[in-house]
Amino acid sequence: MPTSIVAEPLGPEPPVGRPGPPAAPAMDLVLARIRKVLCDPARFQIVRALREAELSVNQLAALIRRAPAATSQHLRVLREMGLVEGTRSGTTIYYHLRPGPATTQVESVIDAIERGAAASA
């Protein structure tokens, strides 16, 4: 006699109509970008410098006391995050902060850090 196999559930089924976990809100992604920028001292210094002026890789490297190759790698990360963009002038690329919500948030956090540092000095 053949036996029929009935699959049993592995656990309780989720209630019908109940949504799953929410997708990460846009603000969470912005905050993750901010943390990635501010965690690295070199990137933090680059963003602070670019708030003041457009600068080349060599100018930034001199300011943050890093090799131009290392500075370029930090700029790549910042470009990929949408915080920095460059403008070519001959053979030199001058970098500046890209306007947008992530940049605005990073600048707000930097302002708060600088105010806190000034108040404790």
The enclosing domain of 49 has a CATH number of 1.10.10.10
Domain of 67 in residue numbering reads as 28-104
Would residue 50 count as lying in a domain? yes
Neighbours of 68 (CB within 10 A): 14
- Bridge partners of 32, per DSSP, are none
pLDDT per residue, tens digit, the chain (121 aa), is 555 444 444 445 555 555 555 556 776 776 777 787 788 999 999 999 999 999 999 999 999 999 999 999 999 999 988 889 999 999 999 999 999 887 888 888 888 888 888 888 7
Query: Is 43 within the bounds of a domain?
Result: yes
Residue of 88, 89, 94 whose CA lies nearest to 52: 94
Say what the pLDDT of residue 68 is.
97
Q: What are the φ and ψ backbone dihedral angles of 55, each rounded to 5 degrees? A: -135, 150
pLDDT, residue 15, reads 55
Residue from 83, 79, 75 nearest 42 by CA: 75
Please check whether residue 67 lies inside any domain of the structure: yes
The domain total for the chain is: 1
Q: Would you say residue 120 lies in a domain?
A: no
Contacts of 96 (CB under 8 A, 6+ apart): 50, 54, 84, 85, 86, 87
Q: Tell me, what's the pLDDT at 47?
A: 93
- β-pair partners for 85: 96
Q: Do the domain assignments include residue 74?
A: yes
The answer as to whether 72 is a domain residue is yes
Give the pLDDT of residue 34: 76
> Does a structural domain hold residue 15?
no
